[in-house]
Structure formats: C-alpha cells, structure tokens
Structure 1
Amino acid sequence: MPISRIAIGNPGEASRPDAIRAAFAEFFSMIIFVFAGEGSGMAFNKLTDNGSTTPSGLVAAALAHAFALFVAVSVGANISGGHVNPAVTFGAFIGGNITLLRTILYWIAQLLGSVVACLLLKFATGGQETSAFSLSSGVSAWNAVVFEIVMTFGLVYTVYATAVDPKKGNVGIVAPIAIGFIVGANILAGGAFDGASMNPAVSFGPAVVSWSWTNHWVYWLGPMAGAAIAAIVYDNIFIGESTHEPLPANDF
C-alpha cells in the first residue's frame, strides 16, 4: 500500500531553500493558471453579456484552462513538480512522493496564488466579479461530488501515469500536454453541471474574492477523494513496492 510510505518530513524542511523555491513556483504557476482560466470566463461574460453558459462559452473555458494548465505545469515542473493543484499534491502525498510538511507548504502557496490572481483580475477589470463555482439547476451537491471525484480521478491518474511513474520513460515529456488535455476534456464533460473544478485552489480564489461559499465544500471533498483513489489505484496496480522509487524533493 502506498499509505505505508507516507512521510511527515522533518521540522526544518519548510525553511529549506529548495522547499521555499518550490512553494514560490507553485504560487506563480497558480497565478498564471487562474488568471488565464478565470480571466477567460470573465472576458467571455463581458463579450456576450453573461452568456458563459452557452456551448461556445464552455468550449472557450475548456481551451483556456487546457492551454493555461499546460504552461503552468511546464514552468513549474523542474522546480516543484508543477502540481498547480492541492488535489494533485494530495495524491502525490498519498503515494509517498512528497512529505506532509511540503504538502502543506504547497497548499498554502497554491491557495494564495489563486486569491492573488482573482484580486488582480478584479482590479484589472475595474471591479468585475470573479464568479465562485456553483451548481447548475437540477444538480445536487452530491451529484457534483461524484462529478468532481470522477474528473479528478482522471486528472490525478494521468499525472501518475505521465509524471510520477518511475517507468514513464519518454512519455514524461508530454506530461504537461496530457494533464492540460484531460482538464480541458473534463470541463467539456462537467462544466455545464458544476463548473468542473477538479482543483480546490481554483474554487477557493473566486470564493474568497466574491465571498460566496455556497456548496464550496463540494470542491474540496470531491477533488481530494478522487485524487486519493487515483493515487492508491495507480500505485498499487501499476507501480507496486518492487518498482517504487522515491522521487527527489524538487519533483513529485
């Protein structure tokens, strides 16, 4: 079980230069991702008089998030592993690929990055609202939890297969593209139902800036559960004890 490899980390880890650099990398990558992703939705709302729920708006959101995540993962990959998502970090932690202390450090950086990106968007757009994630009519909170679990499972499973697996070989080169593609595809699948977050930080920033917390717990429970399931499934079935190699501290 990967859970047997969970590590707490030593108290001085959070002050190590490599850990601090990794946290800054996550912070700036999150700003890049949220500013482009959330900003595309705000721009579409402005151009279409709040018509972001149209099919073209959904496609635009999927493309913007896929492109932005590809870049955000790429620029952070050599420093922090390019998680850009508390759920991805949690999945890496469950698989024994990152310590608890570094996980918390990443979470803080990711959440702050999302808030800063939303504040920058609100200022740059003259006060336009950064809309918090919400459920569509007829979609219950538990429906949305299932959506988030399945979509985040797909995301973290892709991360494990292309970035974490020691046997990944040359496929690791396309990891940022694959990660961006699965997020874009999941937005097309679930965006009309619950916004398709798959990322607690992406939900957290708009919620803080707009101070709207209705059903916010959905966007934490679903992604975290999906990430944990993906980590356990992939690690046990495809990596296993015999082939597991702890990755360097500056990677996953």
Structure 2
Amino acid sequence: MTSTDRSRLREWLSAASLRSYVAEFISTFFFVFAAVGSAISARMLTPDVTSDASSLVATALAQGFALFAAVYVAADVSGGHVNPAVTFGFAVGGHIGLPTAIFYWISQLGGSTLACLLLRVASAGQAIPTTGIGTEMTGFGGAVVESVITFMLVYTVYVAADPRGGGGDRERKRKMRREVAGPLAVGLTAGACVLAAASLTGASMNPARSFGPAVVSGNFKNHAVYWVGPLIGAALAALVHQYLVFPSAPSDAYPTSAV
C-alpha cells in the first residue's frame, strides 16, 4: 500500500467521515421507519387501501415530513443524502468520491434494513409492505416512472444545494437552505411524487426505501426496477443541472452536501 493509498484510507475512516456514515445511517433509519410504518398503519386502519384515497394522502404526508426532517438533521454532518440515488447523483457530478459513496450506500441500506426489522418485531409480526409495480405495468414502465420521479427529487436536491440559484449572497442562501428551505423543498417534492406515482410503482425514488422491506419480507419481485430507475434518474438530474442549467459549477459549491 502506497502512502497515497494510506492517506486516502485514513480520510475515509477519519472521525469526520465516520460521523457522516453514522448520520446517514440514522437519517435513513428515521425516514424508512416513518415511510414503511405509515404504510403499515394505513393498512391496519383501512384494510382495503386500494379504494381509499385517504391512505395515499397519509403516506405521502408521512414520507414528505419524514424526509424533510431526515435531511435536516443530517445536513450539517453528511449532507443529508438519505438515499443511494442522491449519493449516486453527487458521485456522477464529481462532488463526492466513489469510496465515500460506497460507505454512504452501506450506511443507508443498513439503516433501512434495521428500520424494517424493528417494525417487524415491534408490530408483532405484521407483514412489511414492499414497493411493487402496478399489475398492468411492465418492469420497463415501472423503471421509467421511477426514473422520472427520482429525476424530480434529485434535481430539487441539486437546486437546493446550489448557492447560486436565485441570486443574492451565497453564504446567506447556504445558511437558509441548510436550516429549512432546502430540506423542506426536498420533502415537498417527495410527497408530491408519492401522490403522483404511488399507485403505479409505490413511488420509492430511493433504493434504500425498497431494499429494507425487500430484505425483511424476502420479496425481491421486480426489485431491479427500484435500482435501475432511480440511479438513471439521479444521474440525469446531476448532468442536466450541472451541464445545462448551471454549467461550470464552482468546485466548492456543494462538494458533499445535499442541502
């Protein structure tokens, strides 16, 4: 191992980096616990959820609020990605290194799995609902829908993280986004996408959101849809924002932060 390799390893395992991995684990746990828990609660209160729009609104609100809070609490430590697709988008844009992205993914998937395990145990064995595509849809159609709504989410993340948007002082806008505006915009976008696409694909937009329930339930049917679609959508969002809407982004604009 060369000195450069040792230096990089120390950076990836430094106290600051470990704190960021823990922050991603906790925030993803928080988000998935709320998202999956709200789906379980809706099913228990309204068994025939397919004909009750109120359950859709309730789960959309739960996911939007939970994502807002999850991003907010992790923003200053890890950037508040809470989503492997967001991390992938930042890696594609060159704002986060591949090894760091992998550690983020491990933390996010671990947090999601633990949240679903805890829900399974605490709910006395209630079935963990998994995301799935509509009965008349194909896997390709499901991937397209997930790609589109993830594009919307990750593009919002990029705009929220970019201090140049809207004019004005950079530091003032960075502080505002870090405190409320950025996480709120991300949460509202996620909630809107759930309302728009939950009946089609479950509106995951987040591989970790689908991974934990699949692991705990043992149901991986059409699981590839929830990786392929979000990763393509996230990559496109990063490229469109960085090279079309806001070209020549300064290297220090948002190196690792979602907000």
Gapped runs of 5+ residues in structure 2? 1-6
Task: Indicate the residue corresponding to 1:237 in structure 2.
Answer: 244
Structure 1 residue aligned with 2:220:
213
- The letter for the 1-side match of 2:207 is P
1:244 to partner: Cα distance: 1.6
Determine the C-alpha separation between the residues in 2 that align with 1:72 and 1:53.
30
2:164 aligned residue (140, 158, 167): 167
Q: Are 1:86 and 2:92 an aligned pair?
A: no
2:73 partner amino acid:
V
Matches within 5 A, 1:73-222: 73-163=71-161, 165-168=162-165, 169=170, 170=173, 172=177, 173-222=180-229
Residues 60-117 of structure 1 deviation map (CA, whole Å, 9 limit, x = unaligned): 1110000000000000000000000000000011111111111001000000000000
What residue is the counterpart of 2:24 in the other structure?
26
Contact 1:18 1:250 in 2 (8 A): no
Q: CA RMSD in A?
A: 1.6
Q: How many residues align?
A: 242
User: Following superposition, which runs of at least 4 residues in structure 1 exceed 6 angstroms of deviation?
Assistant: none
Aligned AA (1:181): L
Separation of aligned partners in 2, 1:251 and 1:159: 9
Which amino acid counterpart does residue 68 of structure 1 have in structure 2? A
Is the alpha carbon distance of 1:225 and 1:53 closer, same or farther for their aligned partners in structure 2, counting shifts above 3 Å?
A: farther
Paired AA for residue 79 in structure 1: V
User: 1:6 matched to which residue of 2?
Assistant: none
**In the alignment, what sits opposite 1:223?**
230
Q: Which deviations, in whole Å up to 9, do the C-alpha atoms of 1:114-145 show, x marking residues without a partner?
A: 00000010111001011111111211111111
Alpha-carbon separation, structure 2, partners of 1:249 and 1:30 = 20
Structure 1 pair 220–53 and aligned structure 2 pair: CA distance change class (3 A) = farther
In the superposition, the TM-score normalised over structure 1's length comes to 0.91
1:53 to partner: Cα distance:
5.8
Contact 1:53 1:192 (C-alpha < 8 Å) held by counterparts: no
Aligned to 2:3: none
Q: What is the percent sequence identity of the aligned residues?
A: 45
Indicate if the aligned counterparts of 1:25 and 1:79 stay in contact, CA closer than 8 A: yes
Q: Give the secondary-structure state (helix, strand or coil) at the position aligned to 1:79.
A: coil
